Structure 1
């Protein structure tokens, strides 16, 4: 069993607190710890991620409360679960990973992948200098209800694509995007429709240049056990194109957009999205 397995979150009453499901991120590449950092510091990835989540107002503290206390706690985008960081981890294992329980998004909001990855990136920056070569995200599509989306927010992330409008044109980066539905064949069944939807969105954050379906994903192995998400990674769709910039912001925006487009096509299983630079 991998160390990146599902970890039960204490204090949640399934009957009284509805969530979208686990949201997981893994960072691949190189991490050089800051020379002044104490390797035995109590400020590990979990604590730093928790602190950053609270500071930014992203942590949902209702999950740890019961009964009347829950109403007094701050709502948020996710509840803490676990995190880890190992600068000496050998490829293909990630050097950092983060797992939260994602709150159910409002009907006019996307899955909070963008703030989630930003929080993870801020955490890693506190630990060392990172050179990211790939980002993996597990998206809880089972927690999305596309039928509840208002007509002006069918793909809510489109409302924020202009965030990437003011940027250095030289920042555009070629990427390979692998989308995998595990053992569920839902993804290959809608592969053509999904790529068509992405092509017709009015945005310039991700410019799609080609795609292919495959019966096996070899881009990056999942960093967790098969039973955590419906693995192994059997059904895959690979997209190639240019991302507006190589950043967790852009990767998060793209992942949330893919999630909504796939959900509208009937995909209700977790999707593992791997975005590889170059």
Structure 2
């Protein structure tokens, strides 16, 4: 999984200019129990008993040599562990950790969140009958909220050189609408291409890029937060896998002006 946060970051007055995004993300992951044992090591913690985590640390930074879009705040790359049959890809904790690590360095004003989803690692047939889309079981977390927090967004879902997403665009939109949730309410969709996606700050060889085939969903998100974006990303990943998509997906959620 790869995540990129876009917008503005005003550094804290006390921030060390050498503050490392990798270190902040690593220690936040470790503190929350989300870091896989294989990437945790060194020092006193080697003598602690740890449970398996959600991901292994790979890389992170404030800037990226492949970044072509203005407004990149930070980026994070991890190797996701295999998910249990009744659990989603851990995108919600992944983005929450990315947001926490970035906010430790400065005041955040996010305009867009981009994440690479390894849909090819999901097996819809292994999902139990009570959780065909596991994230639906946690939709109630967003139920008790101020109605004014609902935010218009554009959700770009791109399958790169594979035309898989345009082929199932209508079914995907209908599937999201039939789920028992109002975290994301889709109002319209359009087939999209490369121009509708901010160029991701990583090499095309990391997935099936460049982004050529996609769909843009327009609607309302329960709140503008990495929690809500991560939850939506998990639902999109499982929904796409159910529709026969086996390619990595680049998902970009952009806050729209009211």
1:214: how far off?
2.4
Matched, 1:251 2:251: no
Partner of 1:14: none
Partner of 2:51: 74
CA distance in 1, matches of 2:247, 2:118: 7
What secondary structure sits across from 2:233 in the alignment? helix
Alpha carbons of structure 1 residues 64 and 49: separation in structure 2 relative to 1, 3 Å: closer
Partner of 1:54: 30
What secondary structure sits across from 2:224 in the alignment? coil
Alpha carbons of structure 1 residues 124 and 215: separation in structure 2 relative to 1, 3 Å: closer
1:220: how far off?
1.1
Q: What does residue range 132-171 of structure 1 map to in structure 2 within 5 Å?
A: 132-171=110-149
Q: Contact (CA 8 Å) 1:62, 1:73: kept in 2 or not? A: no
CA distance in 1, matches of 2:248, 2:59: 19
Given candidates 170, 184, 191, the residue that maps to 2:162 is 184
Q: Deviations over 1:99-126 (max 9, x none)?
A: 0000111000000000000011110111
Partner of 2:62: 85
Partner of 1:45: 21
1:254: how far off?
0.4
* Number of residue equivalences: 248
Q: Deviations over 1:217-272 (max 9, x none)?
A: 42311211111111010101100000000000000000000000000011111000
Q: Contact (CA 8 Å) 2:158, 2:215: kept in 1 or not? A: yes
Matched, 1:103 2:85: no
TM superposition outliers: structure 1 runs of 4+ over 3 Å: 62-65
Alpha carbons of structure 1 residues 240 and 83: separation in structure 2 relative to 1, 3 Å: same
Given candidates 204, 216, 220, the residue that maps to 2:194 is 216
Normalised to the residue count of structure 1, the TM-score between the two structures is 0.85
CA distance in 2, matches of 1:63, 1:33: 28
Given candidates 152, 155, 164, the residue that maps to 1:174 is 152
Partner of 1:122: 100
CA distance in 2, matches of 1:169, 1:215: 33
Partner of 1:239: 217
1:189: how far off?
1.4
1:40: how far off?
2.4
1:90: how far off?
8.6
Alpha carbons of structure 1 residues 179 and 228: separation in structure 2 relative to 1, 3 Å: same
What secondary structure sits across from 2:33 in the alignment? coil
Q: Deviations over 1:24-78 (max 9, x none)?
A: 100000011101112124xx1101111011110000113679xxx9xx7531100
Structure 1 unaligned regions, length at least 5 = 1-22
Q: Deviations over 1:147-172 (max 9, x none)?
A: 10001110000000000011111100
Q: CA RMSD in A?
A: 1.9
Normalised to the residue count of structure 2, the TM-score between the two structures is 0.92
